[in-house]
Amino acid sequence: MSNRDSFDICVIGAGVIGLATAYELAKKYKNQDVSIVILESESSFGQHISSRNSEVIHAGIYYPTDSLKAKLCVEGKELLYSYSEQFNIPHKKIGKLIVAKKSEANALTQLREKAIANGVLDLQFLNRAELQKLEPEIDAHAALLSPSTGIIDSHAYMQSLLHQAEILGVQFAPYSRVEKIDTDKETFVMHCQIGENKNAEEYQFDCRQLINSAGLQAQSIARTISKVPKNTIPKLHYCKGDYFDYRGHNPFSHLIYPMPEANTAGLGIHATMDLSSQLKFGPDTDFVENIAFEIDDSKAKTFARNISSYFPAIKTADLKPAYSGIRPKLSGQSEAAVDFNIQGESVHGVPGLIQLFGMESPGLTASLAIGKHIARSVQL
Ligand SMILES: Cc1cc2nc3c(=O)[nH]c(=O)nc-3n(C[C@H](O)[C@H](O)[C@H](O)COP(=O)(O)OP(=O)(O)OC[C@H]3O[C@@H](n4cnc5c(N)ncnc54)[C@H](O)[C@@H]3O)c2cc1C
């Protein structure tokens, strides 16, 4: 026996997925004297990918049928709406319109078929006149209305997940950066730096189960785990997405998405809004080498050109840089999209270890379903 502190389960990363996972594990092991800790390198939760997204509760339309993205999005959407009702998380099922030009009519039909195969059964076709009635500023030949798409206050959601997890006994450790992980028989030896930069101190503890949910750092943490074969760690591609705020009055009452272009890494520059009805456009897709969030103002012109294909009244001067996020993609530019990659022992051969790679959109929507999926596979 070592004389280090010891936890049964350790989750690395307090983004929305790490938090939802800790919450679901805490529910599974309620009243069973199982200790769970969440390690987070920042001062608080949700400072990375989870605070730089569209805050859309996706329906589950686009993803390949039977993929984890499709299944966990459809299941996660329902779980997220129920959770939001139960714990009073601000959200709105405002619905989304996928708008198509005449030349895209067949693709729109195919998209509906894919949605049905994914279990999204509530999409409605709208012709030009029906669309005009709902959204007079939109110019399109036809549209699909997705009534189950919504928006959520993701910060309030994460705060609540942490609170509920703590009520169930989970310990949250901010300012706790994982540096390296050794494997010692049936335990992991966690090497951390705890405290703020200058005053940080080394701290080691043991845990039996380890969930690597470190978002953009998941691969670099995986490389420090002594027994993980390097060839099981997928290559990470940073794909930046910028948003521009719309300066004028928001003319829309739904989220507006163009048809996704073939072989693009995103869903097209779409119109989303937050719960205060602030309209924004984005995100675009830009593969980058480094994590940096500056926005090039001159992109407003390209944004306006793209948006004018469905919202003709847009002007470049209506757009002002807002914020950006970086997707942890497992596919590079022009490569086919890759599914969530959730690895257990059968992939890397290390008992007790679960690693999450490529947790891009719809990770927020799917978070509770991902948490349940992981909780099911953890066996103490
Ligand atoms: C531009 C964009 C738009 C998106 N839009 C949507 C959307 O509308 N709807 C939707 O469902 N999904 C959306 N997503 C996807 C969603 O935001 C992500 O799937 C989700 O936030 C990922 O959460 P995470 O917990 O994996 O990562 P993160 O939120 O990045 O959390 C990882 C955490 O690990 C911590 N960490 C890293 N290294 C260490 C270490 N060494 N030690 C301790 N802690 C560490 C980090 O500080 C961080 O807090 C979008 C993503 C992007 C980028």
My answer on whether 40 and 178 are in the same domain is yes
Residue 68, in any domain of the structure: no
| Predicted pLDDT at 264 | 63
User: Phi/psi at 13 (nearest 5 deg)?
Assistant: 110, 120
* Segments forming the whole domain that contains residue 240: 236-253+263-333
The model's pLDDT over 14-26, given as tens digits with 9 standing for 90+, comes to 999 999 999 999 9
Say yes or no: CB of residue 213 within 6 Å of ligand 1.
yes
- pLDDT cut 70: percent of the chain above it: 98
**Beta pairing class for 201-212 and 353-357:** parallel
DSSP class of 259: P
Share of the chain above pLDDT 90, in %: 93
Model pLDDT for residues 164-175, shown as the tens digit of each residue: 999 999 999 999
Ligand 1 mean position to 183 CA, how many Å?
Answer: 26
Q: How confident is the model at residue 252 (pLDDT cuts 50, 70, 90)?
A: very high
Closest C-alpha to ligand 1, atom 26: 215
Task: Give pLDDT, residue 334.
Answer: 86
The last residue of a domain, from among 147, 182, 213: 147
Question: How far is ligand 1, taken at its centre, from the CA of residue 276, in Å?
Answer: 23
Give the tokens for residue 300. Answer: 């407003």
Q: Is the CB of 355 under 6 A from ligand 1?
A: no
The pLDDT tens digits of the residues spanning 258-298 come to 998 766 667 789 999 999 999 999 999 999 999 999 999 99
In a domain, 355, yes or no: yes
Please provide the distance, in angstroms rounded to a whole number, between the alpha carbons at the two ends of the chain.
18
- The answer to the question of residue 138 being in a domain is yes
How many domains would you assign to the chain?
3
Tell me, in angstroms, the distance from the centre of ligand 1 to residue 133's CA.
37
CA of 49 to the centre of ligand 1 (A): 3
Q: 60 CB under 6 A from ligand 1?
A: no
Same domain, 241 and 326: yes
How would you label 345-357 residue by residue, b for 16+ Cβ within 10 Å and e otherwise?
A: eeebebebbbbbb
Q: What is the pLDDT of residues 195-214, one digit of tens each?
A: 987 889 999 999 999 999 99
Residues 247 and 324 in one domain: yes
* Substitution site in 364, 365, 370, 373 for ligand 1 pocket (most atoms within 8 Å of beta carbon): 364
Is residue 141 assigned to a domain?
yes
* 275 and 326 together in one domain: yes
- Within a domain: residue 76? no
Distance CA 242, CA 20 (A): 26
CATH for 210 = 3.50.50.60
* Domain end marker among 147, 166, 185: 147
The pLDDT-based confidence of 185 (bands split at 50, 70, 90) is confident
Same domain, 269 and 344: no
Confidence of residue 127 (pLDDT cuts 50, 70, 90): very high
Which domain CATH number covers 299? 3.30.9.10
Q: Given the DSSP bridges, would you call strands 36-39 and 5-12 parallel, antiparallel or unpaired?
A: parallel
Same structural domain, 247 and 221: no
Say if CB 330 and CB 69 are below 8 A apart.
no
Assess contact for 246 and 280: CB atoms under 8 A. Answer: yes
Q: Are 112 and 187 in the same domain? A: no
- 301 in the same domain as 314: yes
Mean pLDDT of 166-187: 95
